[in-house]
């Protein structure tokens, strides 16, 4: 019995010592993390995006916008912000998962189009009629922003971002019109309905500018709004299927939890 008791006693001491060492390791890890984050403020944000992927200015080929649906676009973002000592200025780094999509209806004239017939044949030429376009692009974005704090509640931010495409869709339907083969003087063909899909040609990397503001409601909760303006078109330069650049321009409304 004594031997059994002694064995249990030794085992208990061993487990206690091991647990003590593990606690020391955890405390050490926590101290390292706290030291690394000293002076940095962490936030987790979520929001809803409204906007579109649009040409600027609106080309003459698009005679009217007959319908617009912004779709369900959302973002989730984590940020680390550090304020410079004895100033109201700071810097903010983040990583963001966001979607940028829309659906539009438009009436066009002499609109360059490459579309597919229901039988699988391809038509290229000048389109006169209606188009319905669906865009749904998913990005992993990295914003780098300068911040300026006003009082205890307001923070303004501005800077740049770069986005990496995770999933891209750009497709639609051309209907109720006709197309002239290759150019405006080509042979006319009436088209009741045909589809197009340029999803595989969307740029893999986007960049642009971002500016906005944040207001702290409670100690750990804030609301924010910002505008993201893409500086390069979603298709490569001189892309033949779409003859004018399309820029992603989206505003975001959301809230942040401040750690």
How many whole angstroms separate alpha carbon 34 and alpha carbon 23? Answer: 16
Q: How confident is the model at residue 130 (pLDDT cuts 50, 70, 90)?
A: very high
Nearest Cα to 68, choosing from 52, 57, 82?
A: 52
The pLDDT assigned to 11 comes to 47
C-beta separation of 207 from 161 below 8 A = yes
Q: Which of 14-18, 72-76, 129-133, 212-216 is predicted with the least confidence, judged by mean pLDDT?
A: 14-18
Length of the chain (residues): 259
Q: Which of 126-130, 164-168, 187-191 is predicted with the least confidence, judged by mean pLDDT?
A: 187-191
Q: How confident is the model at residue 40 (pLDDT cuts 50, 70, 90)?
A: confident
* Residue 248: φ, ψ to 5°: -80, 120
The pLDDT assigned to 4 comes to 41
The pLDDT assigned to 16 comes to 46
Residues with Cβ within 8 Å of 231's Cβ and at least 6 positions away in sequence, in order, are 207, 208, 209, 247
The pLDDT assigned to 192 comes to 86
């Amino acid at each position: 019995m004594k031997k059994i008791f002694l064995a249990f006693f030794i085992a208990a001491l061993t487990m206690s010592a091991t647990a003590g060492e593990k606690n020391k390791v955890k405390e050490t890890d926590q101290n390292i993390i706290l030291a690394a984050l000293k002076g940095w403020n962490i936030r987790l944000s979520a929001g809803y995006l409204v906007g579109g992927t649009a040409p600027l200015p609106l080309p003459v080929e698009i005679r009217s916008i007959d319908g617009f649906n912004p779709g369900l676009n959302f973002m989730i973002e984590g940020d680390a912000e550090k304020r410079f000592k004895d100033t109201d200025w700071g810097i903010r780094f983040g990583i963001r998962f966001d979607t940028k999509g829309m659906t539009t209806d438009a009436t066009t004239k002499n609109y360059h189009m490459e579309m597919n017939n229901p039988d699988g044949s391809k038509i290229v030429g000048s389109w006169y009629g209606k188009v319905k376009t669906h865009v749904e692009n998913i990005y992993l974005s990295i914003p780098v922003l300068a911040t300026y704090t006003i009082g205890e509640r307001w923070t303004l931010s501005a800077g740049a971002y770069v986005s990496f495409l995770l999933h891209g869709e750009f497709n639609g339907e051309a209907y109720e019109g006709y197309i002239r083969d290759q150019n405006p003087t080509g042979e006319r063909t009436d088209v009741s309905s045909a589809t197009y899909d340029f999803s595989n040609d969307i740029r893999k990397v986007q960049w642009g500018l971002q500016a906005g503001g944040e207001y702290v409601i409670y100690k750990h909760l804030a609301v924010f709004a910002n505008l993201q303006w893409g500086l390069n078109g979603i298709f490569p330069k001189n892309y033949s299927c779409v003859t004018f650049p399309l820029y992603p321009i989206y505003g975001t409304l959301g809230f942040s939890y401040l750690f």
